[in-house]
Amino acid sequence: MRRSAYLAVLTVIVGALLAWWPAATPPVQAAPNKPADLAQAGPYAVGHLSLMLFDASRPGDRPGEATYNGVSRPIPVSIWYPVDPATVEGRASDAVYPLDPLYGVAPDTYSPQWEAYGIDPAFEQAVPSAAKPFPLLVFSPGWGGPNWIHTSLGTRLASHGFVVAVPYHFGDQWWLWEPPYDPLAVASYNRPRDVTFVLDDLLARNQAAGDLLNGLIRPHQVAAGGWSLGGYAAMALAGGDDLVCDTLYGIPGLEDPPDWTCAPTDPDPRIKAITPLDGSNQVLHFDELARITVPALGIGEEWDAVLDWQARQHAAFSGHPAYRVDVAATNHQSFSDICEAAQLGVDSGIFPELGESMLAMFCTPDFTPSGVVHELTGKYVAAFLRTQLAGEPGYQAVLTPGWAIAREQLVEFFVTERRSPQSIDDDWPGLFVYFPHQPGSLQARGPKDPSEKRPVNRLSLVQ
Q: How far apart are CA 72 and CA 116, in angstroms?
A: 37
Is the residue at 376 inside a domain? yes
Q: Given pLDDT bands bounded at 50, 70 and 90, which one contains residue 439?
A: confident
User: Count of residues for the chain?
Assistant: 463
Cβ-based neighbours of 14, under 8 Å, separated by 6 or more = none
How much is the pLDDT for 324? 96
Q: Which residues partner with 46 through β-bridges?
A: 82
C-alpha distances out from residue 309 to 267, 294, 329, 387, 404, Å? 23, 20, 16, 26, 21
How much is the pLDDT for 201? 98
Total Cβ atoms within 10 A of residue 43: 15
Is the residue at 54 inside a domain? yes
AA identity, residue 67: T
Q: How far apart are CA 403 and CA 175, in angstroms?
A: 42
Integer-rounded Cα Rg, in Å, for the chain is 23
How much is the pLDDT for 157? 98
Q: How far apart are CA 323 and CA 184, in angstroms?
A: 28
C-alpha distances out from residue 312 to 303, 388, 421, 443, Å? 11, 22, 16, 13
Task: Give residue-wise pLDDT tens across range 51-63.
Answer: 999 999 998 888 8
Q: How far apart are CA 31 and CA 192, in angstroms?
A: 38
Q: Which residues partner with 138 through β-bridges?
A: 165, 224
CB 165 within 8 A of CB 195: no
Q: Whole-model pTM?
A: 0.90
Q: How far apart are CA 98 and CA 108, in angstroms?
A: 4
Q: What value does the mean pLDDT take over residues 121-149?
A: 97
Cβ-based neighbours of 21, under 8 Å, separated by 6 or more = none
Span between the terminal Cα atoms of the chain, in Å: 84
Domain carrying residue 389: 37-447
Q: How far apart are CA 310 and CA 437, in angstroms?
A: 12
Is the residue at 247 inside a domain? yes
Q: How far apart are CA 346 and CA 323, in angstroms?
A: 37
| CATH, residue 397 | 3.40.50.1820
Is the residue at 460 inside a domain? no
Is the residue at 192 inside a domain? yes
CB 426 within 8 A of CB 107: no
How much is the pLDDT for 12? 35
Burial class (CB in 10 A: 0-12, 13-18, 19+), 249: middle
Q: What percent of the chain has pLDDT over 70?
A: 88
How much is the pLDDT for 461? 62
The DSSP 8-state label assigned to residue 200 in this structure reads: H
Interior angle at CA 122, CA 121 and CA 125, nearest 5: 165
Higher pLDDT, 34 or 447: 447
pLDDT(15) > 70: no
Work out how many domains the chain is built from and give that number.
1
Q: How far apart are CA 415 and CA 355, in angstroms?
A: 37
Task: Give residue-wise pLDDT tens across range 72-91.
Answer: 999 999 999 999 999 998 86
Q: How far apart are CA 244 and CA 33, in angstroms?
A: 40
Is the residue at 463 inside a domain? no
Interior angle at CA 413, CA 192 and CA 145, nearest 5: 30
AA identity, residue 411: V
Is the residue at 51 inside a domain? yes
Is the residue at 455 inside a domain? no
How much is the pLDDT for 420? 54
